[in-house]
Structure 1
Amino acid sequence: MGGSGGRRTQHERDAITVEIGYALVSAAFTAAVVFGTAAGPALLFQLPDGLEWLLLRAGLTVAPALFAVRVVSVLVRFTRSAQPSQPGRTKPDS
């Protein structure tokens, strides 16, 4: 965040902490929704064994991958947007 390479201010550290928290909570929520959508029918209904296995494995595979992708995308977007185009000036689109 600080382009000078020096120590971060308290405001910058707080912003990073909030963004990390947002990334983790939103990723956990998104992964839980996707897992529930994929594996929910297998947990709620009596389905054939092969279909239950497939739905559970799909949920257990997609949810963690989505969690990781969501965390990384939120944090990358934050680091890109936190740096102004010119030092001391706001971006023209803000």
Structure 2
Amino acid sequence: MGERRTQAERDAMTVEIGYALVSSAVLAGLTFAAASAPALLLFDLGRTARTVVLGLATAAAVLAFAARVVHVLWRFPRREGRRLGGPAPAPDRADRSGSADSVT
């Protein structure tokens, strides 16, 4: 817990967070448009139905935004390629053969 991150690790995390937020915002916008446009443009809805459609489209966009942020940041590699509580990274090819001298 007392380990300090290098500047490169901090920069990589900043870029990853920015990517997660931008791609999530784009996905949320597309989700909102896809969920609301057909109902609002193709059908003549009453005020209540229009409010319900916009509410559902907003809820779908928020859910898509949150899911995308979590998905992108969860996949971001942690220190030494391991996640907290995750499996250890696979050994390289030489380690699996049992001998560092053998080459396949």
Aligned length: 86
Bigger Rg, structure 1 or 2:
2
1:31 counterpart = 2:28: yes
Match of 1:22, as an amino acid?
A: Y
1:9 counterpart = 2:6: yes
Distance in 2 of aligned mates of 1:11 and 1:83:
15
1:77 counterpart = 2:75: yes
Distance in 2 of aligned mates of 1:51 and 1:59:
12
Which structure 1 residue ranges, 5 or more long, are not aligned?
A: none
Query: Which range moves more in the overlay, 76-85 or 27-36?
Result: 76-85
Identity %, equivalent residues: 45
Aligned CA-pair RMSD: 2.7
Distance in 2 of aligned mates of 1:38 and 1:78:
30
Runs of 4+ in 1 over 3 A off after TM superposition: 41-46, 79-82
Distance in 2 of aligned mates of 1:81 and 1:70:
22
Match of 1:61 in 2: 59
